[in-house]
Amino acid sequence: MHIENERPASKYSLAFLVVVYIAFFSAYCFMSFRAFGYYDWDLAVYDQIIWNITRGDLFSSLLGVNFLGHHVHFLAFPIAFIYKLFPHPYTLLFLQTAALGGAAVPLYYLARQFLDLRWSFLVCCFYLLHQGVWQANIYEFHFTAFAPLIFFSMFSFYFSNNYFRFVFTAVAALLCQENFALFTFFFGVLALVQHRSVRWWLPVLTGSLLYILLCFKFLIPFLNPGIIQFVSIYRQWGADYRQIAGNLLAHPLQALQFMFLPAKLSWLGSIFMPLSFVPLLSPGFLLLALPVFLQRLLSSRPQETALMYHYQAELLPFIFLALIFGLRRLMRVPFLSTTRAFWGYLMLAVVLFHSYSAVVNICSKNIDRTVVTGADNVKAQWVKDVPSKASVVASFEFLSHLSNRKDLYSFQYIYNGRYILSNTKYALNKLVDMALIDFDDPFLVRAFYYPLGYKNIREFLDRQKFAVADVANNMVFFRRGGKDQMALYDVSGSAPKIAHALDIRIDDVLRLAGYDTAWRTGRLEVTLYWQVLKKPTFDLAAVFVLRSAKTGQSTIINSPAGYRIFPTQAWDSGTWITEYKYLLAPEQVLRDELGLAFVKAGVSATLPLLRLAVPKGEH
């Protein structure tokens, strides 16, 4: 059946679904960006890269290397032409959404070559409703998101014998990301096995091999001389790729055991289960993606086999190609072929069930990232206060809002003291103008917590000669030069004057002697007075609970001691420590109750909730 003779209604229906998908996720990405919901640094990294390209610069200050030494994304250059017209991170988010949603169009034309109208439309529905697509869409920005559009087009041109368009899309795949050469190489093997003429397989095989050699042997090592070490995620198998390959071949059972750990099986299940495991009926096409499946399953980095990230996007084209041929195989079974409508509705029900579960899962974990809070308004104001040419150090949630500049540096490197995936020490050997840091950034604490990181922070702040310009919750706005506008903590050898006395001890190591509260510059200032009885060996954090008895609404603010600059393990015995906390607190909540508790190293409460007195006054 030829596509040209089909009823236009099917195409209109598909176009409607694609438009709905793009509109929905574009709106989600916009709201998430506005609410500082991009909590990792990938969007900022790629936005700075493409912004730099429009100015003729290929170096990324965030990565610390030429961007082609990190991943070989030559596709960034044509994208830069679009970006130059709309120079904003949201441009990348929209292009990513359009590519993921628009991939359903070549998927439809691919499916129509082997399935009837109804099943081809259903396959596109399965794709647009797949959680792996959604998660890749809402998690930052990545070039792997272009894989479905490129490879669905490539497959469609291959099976329809459109040679020149096939070659064009194969080249686009190579330019998108370096490991896509593994896909094109194995597709050349497929063409050879299927006895296609030499022009279908020889250019693809040789071009892919030469490109792999160029990227991994010359380009990446030259532009990234051991700074970012991707081999480290396979360190359990060996120190270099040759040793890794030898150990995997020598210990296949151990490798298989590692590849199919429960978490990795769960990842595979979450990809194949919504498709009723039908792609497994066509294992030959899944083998085309075997190298990248191995790349993910053999990695020790858990993110690579977690659906909430983007890594499955590069595998989905091959999974859906296998789905098409798996369905074709099923439709040839006499019993199934006569009841294909029933099985179509059944599979759609399975997909909708998993989609509903995905919506609940995604909303429960991500909906808060689309809601603008008081803290987000403060972040937005601080970003506006940063001049366009200022050099800045920032924690994760600030990065993508500051990425249109040459000199932007991630606080994670300073805190951790090393480059990402690297043993190479990080040193910022220049003075910067400003720093916008959330010292309790959730991703920073969860992924990069380092008990001795405070030493790196203090060394950095001392070298930069920063002054505190503003503080809100755990966020601090630093400017180089001048005087502190607000104090973060004080150290003394004698007891200070205390407004509200307490005598609460934590492990006979620390004594909370009292507190004070006052309104200051739109913040509720809470001052805590500590006597250090013995030198602590733990990190302590205050937990403020702002609860309204009238509405039942609560706001919880976790506040690490000394803003992680001067944590409890740095406190000396016999000293008095005064901590100054500046809380963003709505009056209607504070009017009823302000509670305080403490946790050690973020594990369990060490004190019951205390009620603190809140003064009346203007915010």
Q: What is the pLDDT of residues 601-619, one digit of tens each?
A: 755 555 666 777 777 755 4
Which stretch of 17-26, 53-62, 284-293, 329-338 has the lowest confidence by average pLDDT?
Answer: 329-338
Task: Please say if the pLDDT value at position 566 is more than 70.
Answer: yes
In a domain, 617, yes or no: no
- Return the pLDDT at 320: 96
Q: Mark whether 164 and 71 lie in a shared domain.
A: yes
Question: Over 80: is that where the pLDDT of 21 sits?
Answer: yes
Average pLDDT estimate for 59-79:
92
Q: Do 389 and 363 sit in the same domain of this protein?
A: no
Using a 10 angstrom Cβ sphere, with 0-12 exposed, 13-18 middle and 19 or more buried, the burial of residue 180 is buried
396 belongs to a structural domain? yes
Q: Please say which residue of 368, 394, 427 terminates a domain.
A: 368
What was the pLDDT predicted at 94? 97
Cα distances from 283 to residues 318, 321, 383, 537, in angstroms, run: 10, 10, 51, 55
- Same domain flag for 299 and 444: no
- pLDDT above 50 (res 2): no
- Is the pLDDT confidence value at 352 over 80? no
CA distance 569 to 557: 21
pLDDT above 70: percentage of residues in the chain: 90
With cut-offs at 50, 70 and 90, classify the pLDDT of residue 13.
Answer: confident
Domain-embedded: residue 376: no
User: Can you give the CATH number for the domain in which 550 is found?
Assistant: 2.60.40
Q: Whole-number mean pLDDT of the chain?
A: 87
Q: pLDDT band for 588, please (50, 70, 90 cuts).
A: low
Predicted local confidence at residue 392, as pLDDT: 96
Confidence of residue 373 (pLDDT cuts 50, 70, 90): confident
> What is the spatial distance between Cα 318 and Cα 150, in angstroms, rounded to a whole number?
12
d(CA 475, CA 373): 14
359 and 428 in a single domain? The answer is no
pLDDT for 244: 84
In a domain, 475, yes or no: yes
| H helical segments located in 424-576 | 442-448, 453-464
Whether residues 351 and 397 fall in one domain: no
Mean pLDDT within 548-554? 69
Residue 238: which pLDDT band, with cuts at 50, 70 and 90?
confident
Residue 619 lies in a domain: no
Token readout for 153 is 């087009």
% residues pLDDT > 90 (the chain): 49
Residues 419-444 have pLDDT tens digits of 887 778 888 889 999 999 999 888 88
pLDDT in tens, 253-284: 988 888 888 989 999 988 998 888 889 999 98
Name the nearest CA neighbour of 520 among 463, 475, 585.
585
- Please report whether residue 377 resides in a domain: no
Question: Does 435 share its domain with 578?
Answer: no
Q: Which of the listed residues 368, 399, 417 is the one where a domain comes to its end?
A: 368
Q: Which two tokens stand for residue 436?
A: 């916008």
Decide: 394 and 435 in contact? Cβ < 8 Å.
yes
Is there a domain that residue 25 lies in?
Answer: yes
Three-state helix/strand/coil letters over 535-573: CCCCCEEEEEEEECCCCCCEEEEEEEHHHHCCCHHHCCC
**Domain termination site, one of 428, 447, 480:** 480
Q: Judge whether residue 410 has pLDDT over 90.
A: yes
Range with the largest mean pLDDT of 110-124, 171-185, 580-594: 171-185
Domain enclosing residue 517, as ranges: 489-612
pLDDT value of position 3: 47
Same domain, 103 and 231: yes
Identify the pLDDT of residue 206.
94
The pLDDT, as a whole number, for residue 243 is 84
Q: Are residues 435 and 309 in the same domain?
A: no
Does 391 share its domain with 443?
Answer: yes
Residue 590 domain flag: yes
pLDDT tens across 457-496, in order? 999 998 999 999 999 999 999 999 888 899 999 999 888 8
**Looking at residues 72-98, what average pLDDT do you find?**
95
Q: Are residues 394 and 279 in the same domain?
A: no
Whether residue 304 contacts residue 293, with contact meaning beta carbons closer than 8 Å, is answered with no
Give the model's pLDDT for residue 324.
94
Position 122 confidence tier, pLDDT thresholds 50, 70, 90? confident
Angle between helices 180-193 and 290-297 (to 10 degrees): 140
Buried-exposed string 597-606: b where 16+ CB fall within 10 A, e elsewhere: bbbbeeeeee
pLDDT given at position 7: 63
User: How many domains are there within the chain?
Assistant: 3
Q: 4 pLDDT exceeds 50?
A: no
Do 163 and 208 reside in the same domain of the chain?
Answer: yes
The answer on 387 and 333 residing in a single domain is no
